[in-house]
Amino acid sequence: MTDIAGMPTISPRPVVDPSLDLEEEIAKLKKERNAVILAHYYQDSEVQDLADYVGDSLGLSQQAAKTDADVIAFCGVHFMAETAKILNPEKKVILPDLDAGCSLADRCPPDLFGKWLEQYPDHVVVSYINTSAAIKAMSDIICTSSNAARVVASIPEDKKIVFAPDRHLARWVEKETGRELVKWPGFCVVHEQFTARKLIKLKAANPGAEIIAHPECEDAVLVLADFIGSTTGLINHVKNSPKKTFIVATEMGVMHSMHRDRPDATIIGAPPDSGCECAACPYMRLNTLEKLYAALRDLSPEITLDEELRKAALKPVERMLALG
């Protein structure tokens, strides 16, 4: 999903009649196909608004596990749609843009990971859901950002653990659980951009604000945060907090729900350490309304998986889902 420089590859846009009312056409196709639209909070707001369910990685995999639709139109990134396919081999899973990868998943290739694991034969392998099916198949249990600490805490104290691929999430889980983890050195290109320096400046300009952050941020950022949580955790925190101003260190798509839930609050996106003032995931944003329409129309691009690989990847995903 990435070219040599690590940036998303760009496929040509599908041919779509520009005069179409896409919202209406998508609703029609959804009915015809008996499809469900699942969307991550990092999608464009117009995509979120059309979805049957919007959630974080854990919520989306739980929804995928229980849907009775024939088609799952997954508005998220490849590993999320692939997880839906792992759980639903008999259903058609479509992803509006097949190039919607993830820097964490793409930078943890199965051949290197397998070699790396050879050094730790007696370790329990915990992998973040932001991995390919091949990595999941080499893992004992999967976690997401909302259950990572719980998953690690569920492993008996006498067992050693490797955690892949996000080194920042791993460090945060170590702090939360007191367990030592062997870490794959991966990171998210979006959360890596938030810096303590810029946050301190922003907080000085907004002294009453609460800083909230996703655990994919580096430790220097997380120590400044008043609250750390998954995408859903951050949204729920803002919804229920008595505070009026929030500095949010995660992908800017979450602000759509935050503004809806707290129209009275001031929500400030933490600026990335680049010339750009917005923190948008370049992979997630490859999905558009046009591409969602074309995917439902053509039932393509479709996620397909070798059955043996799917079965092997299913076991650690089911272990996670069983934890609730």
Residues that bind ligand 13P (CB under 6 A): 56-57, 130, 144-146, 188, 216, 230-231
Instruction: Return the number of the residue (31 or 66) whose C-beta is nearest ligand 13P.
Output: 66
Q: Measured from the CB of residue 183, what is the shortest distance to ligand SF4 in angstroms?
A: 16
Q: Measured from the CB of residue 100, what is the shortest distance to ligand SF4 in angstroms?
A: 8
Interactions with ligand SF4, residue window 58-97 (CB under 6 A): 77
For tokens 């370790």, the residue is 123
Partners of 213 in beta bridges = 228, 249
Eight-state DSSP code of residue 138: T
Instruction: Return the number of the residue (58 or 190) whose C-beta is nearest ligand SF4.
Output: 190
Helix (H) or strand (E) holding 161: strand 160-164
Residue 103 as a binder of ligand SF4 (CB under 6 A): the answer is yes
222 binds, among ligand SF4, ligand 13P, none (CB under 5 to 8 A by kind): none
Instruction: Return the number of the residue (102 or 294) whose C-beta is nearest ligand 13P.
Output: 102
145 binds, among ligand 13P, ligand SF4, none (CB under 5 to 8 A by kind): ligand 13P
Instruction: Return the number of the residue (146 or 195) whose C-beta is nearest ligand 13P.
Output: 146
Residue among 286, 308, 302 nearest 70 (CA): 302
Instruction: Return the number of the residue (110 or 282) whose C-beta is nearest ligand 13P.
Output: 282
Q: Measured from the CB of residue 19, what is the shortest distance to ligand 13P in angstroms?
A: 35
* Residue 97 Cα to chain centre, angstroms: 15
CA dist 152 and 262 (Å) reads 33
For tokens 């397998």, the residue is 114
Which amino acid appears at position 184 of this protein?
W
Q: Which residues contact 294 (CB under 8 A, 6 or more apart)?
A: 14, 15, 16, 96
Q: Measured from the CB of residue 144, what is the shortest distance to ligand 13P in angstroms?
A: 4
Stretch that binds ligand SF4, among 113-121, 184-192, 269-277, 296-304 (CB under 6 A): 184-192
Residue among 88, 77, 155, 114 nearest 314 (CA): 88
Question: For the chain, how many helices (H) and strands (E)?
Answer: 15, 12
By CB under 6 A, name the one of 2, 83, 88, 130 that touches ligand SF4: 130
Q: Measured from the CB of residue 244, what is the shortest distance to ligand 13P in angstroms?
A: 24
Residue among 8, 24, 46, 33 nearest 302 (CA): 33
Structural tokens at position 271: 């600026």
Interaction site with ligand SF4 (CB under 6 A): 42, 77, 102-104, 130, 188-190, 216, 251, 281, 283-284
